[in-house]
């Protein structure tokens, strides 16, 4: 099960790299969020490697906590919409999570589709990580 959890974390990291590459709005209007996403991707890959090397209860707890924190931060980002030049936080939420929302300069589905998949994968990581954690004594 540790390899599945590591794979989920790695896919989240890869999606983060794709987001960093193709979300031109992120780079232009929210450089601090761009930098934070770089750190998130590094942590995702580091935890993926760690969970393969040391699939212990502590490591699994760390993975579950990290995935939960990522979800909270991604959803909490919605509250910053007005600060980033959006007319409302709802418009920013639409930009972040609606895969059909067109963003000038970005390929279709960026960032919405990527963030939606990342959230789902993080939920799966939490579920698998918690189950695996319970099995280790």
Domain count, the chain: 1
What pLDDT score does 137 carry?
A: 66
Cα–Cα distance for residue pair 46/49, rounded to 1 Å: 5
Which residue from 3, 6, 8 is spatially nearest to 124, judged by alpha carbons? 8
Mean pLDDT to the nearest integer, 98-125: 95
Residue 117 has pLDDT above 80, yes or no: yes
Mean pLDDT to the nearest integer, 71-87: 91
Angle of helix 2-22 relative to helix 57-76, nearest 10 degrees?
A: 30
Domain containing residue 66: 2-135
Q: Please, which pLDDT band fits residue 29 given cuts at 50, 70 and 90?
A: confident
Mean pLDDT to the nearest integer, 7-18: 98
Q: Please, which pLDDT band fits residue 120 given cuts at 50, 70 and 90?
A: very high
């Amino acid at each position: 099960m540790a390899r599945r959890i590591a794979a989920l974390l790695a896919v989240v990291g890869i999606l983060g790299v794709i987001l960093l590459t193709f979300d031109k709005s992120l780079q232009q209007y929210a450089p601090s969020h761009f930098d934070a996403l770089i750190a998130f991707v590094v942590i995702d890959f580091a935890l993926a490697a760690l969970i393969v090397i040391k699939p212990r209860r502590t490591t699994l707890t760390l993975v579950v906590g990290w995935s939960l924190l990522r979800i909270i931060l991604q959803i909490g980002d919605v509250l910053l919409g007005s600060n980033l030049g959006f007319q409302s936080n709802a418009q920013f939420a639409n930009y972040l999570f609606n895969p059909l929302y067109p963003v000038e300069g970005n390929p279709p589905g960026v960032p919405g589709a990527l963030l939606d998949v990342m959230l789902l994968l993080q939920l799966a990581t939490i579920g698998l990580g918690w189950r695996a954690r319970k099995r280790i004594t």
